[in-house]
Amino acid sequence: DGGITQSPKYLFRKEGQNVTLSCEQNLNHDAMYWYRQDPGQGLRLIYYSQIVNDFQKGDIAEGYSVSREKKESFPLTVTSAQKNPTAFYLCASTTTGASINQPQHFGDGTRLSIL
């Protein structure tokens, strides 16, 4: 079955450490997204990528970095510059970013906590 795989499910970060969250999709989707969700909050966009080798900052990109070297992969690095990284991180994809009528397909998420 096609879908989005996020790993790990749970991740702990020590102070000063960078950590990388994995996101892989086999839906053949062009566009991929990273969101952060805090308790009682909606989804806030961190980064998005409409095509391989191109990505754009979302609303809360500070302290995060991404790469898009392959169509199916969009890893997110939470750097030490992100002082409050504890949250639920969701990766999503859409067929294309060029159409307005594109629902998001989500992975199962990664829960990141500070040690």
Name which of residues 36 to 65 contact another protein (CB under 8 A): 40-45, 48, 50, 56, 58
- At closest approach, how far in Å is the CB of 58 from another protein? 8
Closest alpha carbon to 32 in 74, 89, 77? 74
Per CB under 8 A, 2 contacts another protein: no
- Return d(Cα 103, Cα 78) in angstroms, integer: 26
Single out the segment in contact with another protein by CB under 8 A; choices: 15-23, 32-40, 60-68, 71-79.
32-40
| CB 62 within 8 Å of CB 3 | no
Going by the DSSP 8-state scheme, the letter that residue 81 receives in this structure is T
The site for another protein (CB under 8 A) is made up of 31, 33, 35, 40-45, 48, 50, 56, 58, 90, 92, 97-104, 106-109
